[in-house]
């Protein structure tokens, strides 16, 4: 005999997440939360509402480790039930010595171990009323705005740069299957992503570990290779028929990068390269054990811009590396004058536990590091200001990140980015008097009216 007694749906356990570090760590956080959501967990936006808190740590620099330890301490103080994962998870003994009450510690991209630890700390509510609840919107759990998504193509790195410990944290290069990457990209675009940010430790090396094996995609063989990946991503279209932006990060200037530039000139791939040059002086590059340090980079940059004049290049540089002389540093400044990079970040050399550079002779005094940091920032800011000023009067394509509320005069402002601007690390395009119908994720053509050293200002064309 059927019962009319309502079935009590069990409460979903809730998980909080603190995600630190680089975009690759953010992708790890998204994957973990996606799996937990599929297992019936809800997400908590604050400590108080969480049954357990995950802290995804960064362990690249000592300052990042300190930030990670502070985040763990805050989570313990505010909630008490904490699981630690991420790059600093490789130093479990350090974490447990400082915070013996943590429930579990796992290393970078150990998704199954994290999920198992959550299951033990806050067992999932089993049953079809929880397990089979569909996603509220298409796509997986995302920590980024809906209109852009990070697309991780590999883990780890085969290089042995003297200042870096990423291979010891994340292991050797391990490329994802290209058909799996393309399937994920297609799904993201169908769900509303308008900009794909391709990330890895070394995007140019994608597929080296699997000898660029071929996989079938849409009935055709596709190599596990950066150029094939870029070409196939350039074929994607949004539901309204537009070409999504495809932005390449962490690209080493290997010869095959030349083959991607024509795709940018054709509008299939965003004309933007994030290349971690780190320095220009041959002496310092040798000491850093950087790959491809003999490449004639300046000539290649010139050739790239001849093929694709709108190409934007961003990079990062280390100043004060052990043994760096004033002549080495001046070489870098002169190189920057010639390279005319669009976006540059600079970092003072910081010893990292376990890095080979710590044992190098001739450390650079802190006051010299500070002086060189100031000088390189002045140099690159001047270059950036000139390159942005050249865009005044031009009409450029932007993607809208945020639309504001009307002011007292009813005018609405918006924050956007050009193709030369990656989210969170580059500049922005600030718009005035936009239509009320404009929304985040829209593409728009914008007339640039003003520029400063970092940002552009304009109006819808």
pLDDT in tens, 181-225: 999 999 999 989 999 999 998 999 999 999 999 999 999 999 999
pLDDT tens digit sequence for 274-312:
999 999 999 999 999 886 555 589 999 999 999 999 999
In a domain, 139, yes or no: no
- Picking from 204, 198, 205, the residue whose alpha carbon sits closest to that of residue 248 is 198
Q: Which of 98, 131, 164 is the last residue of a domain?
A: 131
**Location of structure tokens 């079935």:** 7
Range of the domain at 431: 395-460
Q: Of 131, 161, 182, which one is at a domain's C-terminal end? A: 131
pTM: 0.79
- Kindly state whether residue 437 falls inside one of the protein's structural domains: yes
Residues 122 and 189 in one domain: no
Is 9's pLDDT higher than 70?
no
136: in domain: no
Q: Are residues 262 and 284 in the same domain?
A: yes
Instruction: Give me the percent of the chain exceeding a pLDDT of 90.
Output: 67
Clarify whether residues 96 and 195 are in a common domain: no
C-beta of residue 412 within 8 angstroms of C-beta of residue 434: yes
Identify which has the larger pLDDT, 65 or 168.
65
Q: What is the pLDDT of residues 416-454, one digit of tens each?
A: 999 999 998 899 999 999 999 999 999 999 999 999 999
Produce one character per residue of 218-236: b if its CB has 16 or more CB atoms within 10 Å, e if not: eeeebbbbbbbbbbbbbeb
Looking at the structure, tell me whether residues 243 and 118 fall in a common domain: no
pLDDT of 127: 47
* pLDDT value for 126: 53
Give how many domains the chain has, as a whole number: 3
Q: Among 50-54, 56-60, 200-204, 227-231, whose mean pLDDT is lowest?
A: 56-60
Q: Is residue 206 part of a domain?
A: yes
Same domain? For 304 and 431 the reply is no
pLDDT-derived band of residue 10, with 50, 70 and 90 as boundaries? low
Give the integer Cα–Cα distance in Å for 91 and 62: 12
**8 A C-beta contact, residue 225 and residue 267:** no
Q: Which residues contact 441 (CB under 8 A, 6 or more apart)?
A: 145, 146, 147, 192, 194, 399, 400
**126 and 154 inside one domain:** no
* Helix or strand run (H / E) with residue 171: none
* Residue 228 within any structural domain of the chain: yes
| Residue 299 within a domain | yes
User: Tokens in use for 214?
Assistant: 């071929």
Q: What pLDDT is stored for residue 223 in this prediction?
A: 98
- Do 383 and 400 belong together in one domain? no
Here the CATH number for the domain that contains residue 244 is: 3.80.30.20
Same-domain status, 382 and 423: no
For residues 184 and 117, membership in a common domain is answered with no
38 — pLDDT class (breaks 50, 70, 90): low
Do 202 and 301 lie in a common domain?
yes
Tell me the CATH number at 451. Answer: 2.40.50.140
Instruction: Supply the CATH number for residue 65's domain.
Output: 3.40.50.12160
Alpha-carbon distance of 297 to 253, in angstroms, equals 8
Asked if 119 contacts 39 with a C-beta cutoff of 8 angstroms, the reply is yes
Among 364, 389, 414, identify where a domain stops. 389
Alpha-carbon gap, residue 168 to 448, rounded angstroms: 46
In a domain, 427, yes or no: yes
Residue 185, pLDDT score: 95
Say whether pLDDT at 18 is over 60.
Answer: yes
Nearest-angstrom CA–CA distance, 106 and 149: 25
Q: Mean pLDDT in the chain?
A: 89
Q: Helix axis angle, 297-307 relative to 326-339, nearest 10°?
A: 10
Residues in the chain: 461
- The structure tokens listed for 409 are 């005069």
The two three-digit tokens of residue 433, written as one number: 């008097």
Of residues 170 and 343, more confidently modeled: 343
Q: Looking at the domain assignment, is residue 27 inside a domain?
A: yes
Q: Are 114 and 89 contacting, i.e. CB atoms less than 8 angstroms apart?
A: no
For the residues 264-276, what does the mean pLDDT come to? 96
Q: Does residue 292 sit in the same domain as residue 326?
A: yes
Residue 217 · residue 233 · CB < 8 Å: no
**8 A C-beta contact, residue 304 and residue 311:** yes
Binding site members: 22, 58, 87, 157, 161, 164
Q: What residues are designated binding site for [4Fe-4S] cluster?
A: 22, 58, 87, 157, 161, 164
**Same domain (yes/no): 204, 301:** yes
Q: Is the pLDDT of residue 170 over 80?
A: no
The span from the CA of 324 to the CA of 457, in Å, is 39
Tokens describing residue 423: 């989210």
Contact yes or no for 229/184 (Cβ under 8 A): no
């Amino acid at each position: 005999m059927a019962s009319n007694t309502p079935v009590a749906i069990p409460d979903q356990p809730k998980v909080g997440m603190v995600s630190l570090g680089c975009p690759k760590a953010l992708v790890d956080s998204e994957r973990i939360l996606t799996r937990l959501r599929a297992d019936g967990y809800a997400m908590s936006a604050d400590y108080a509402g969480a049954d357990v808190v995950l802290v995804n740590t960064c362990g690249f620099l000592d300052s990042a480790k300190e930030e990670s330890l502070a985040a763990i301490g805050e989570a313990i103080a505010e909630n008490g039930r904490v699981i630690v994962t991420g790059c600093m998870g490789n130093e479990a003994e350090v974490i447990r010595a400082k915070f013996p009450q943590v429930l579990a510690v796992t290393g970078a991209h150990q998704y199954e171990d994290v999920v198992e630890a959550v299951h033990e700390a806050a067992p999932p509510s089993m049953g079809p009323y929880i397990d089979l609840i569909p996603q509220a919107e298409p796509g997986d759990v995302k920590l980024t705005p809906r209109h852009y998504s990070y697309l991780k193509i590999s883990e780890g790195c085969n290089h042995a740069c003297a200042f870096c410990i990423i291979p010891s944290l994340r292991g050797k290069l391990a490329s994802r299957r290209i058909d799996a990457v393309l399937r994920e990209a297609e799904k993201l675009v169908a769900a509303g992503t308008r900009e794909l940010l391709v990330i890895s430790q070394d995007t140019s090396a994608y597929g080296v570990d699997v000898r660029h094996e071929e996989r079938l995609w849409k009935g055709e063989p596709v190599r596990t290779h950066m150029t094939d990946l870029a070409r196939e991503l350039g074929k994607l279209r949004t539901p309204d028929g537009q070409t999504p932006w495809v932005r390449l990060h962490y690209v080493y200037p290997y010869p095959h990068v030349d083959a991607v530039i024509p795709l940018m000139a054709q509008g299939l791939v965003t004309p933007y390269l994030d290349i971690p040059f780190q320095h220009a002086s041959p002496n310092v590059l040798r000491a850093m054990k950087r790959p491809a340090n003999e490449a004639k980079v300046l000539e290649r940059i010139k050739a790239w811009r001849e093929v694709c004049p709108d190409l934007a290049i961003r990079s990062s540089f280390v100043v004060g590396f052990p043994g760096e002389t004033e002549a080495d540093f001046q070489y870098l400044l002169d190189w920057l004058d010639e390279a005319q990079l669009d976006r540059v970040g600079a970092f003072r050399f910081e010893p990292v536990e376990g890095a080979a550079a710590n044992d190098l002779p001739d450390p650079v005094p802190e006051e010299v590091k500070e002086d060189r940091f100031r000088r390189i920032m002045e140099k690159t800011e001047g270059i950036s200001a000139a390159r942005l000023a050249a865009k005044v009067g031009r009409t450029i394509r932007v993607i809208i990140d945020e639309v504001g509320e009307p002011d007292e005069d009813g005018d609405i402002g918006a924050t956007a980015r050009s193709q030369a601007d990656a989210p969170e690390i580059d500049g922005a395009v600030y718009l005035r008097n936009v239509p009320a119908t404009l929304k985040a994720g829209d593409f728009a053509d914008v007339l640039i009216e003003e520029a400063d050293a970092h940002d552009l200002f304009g109006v819808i064309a």
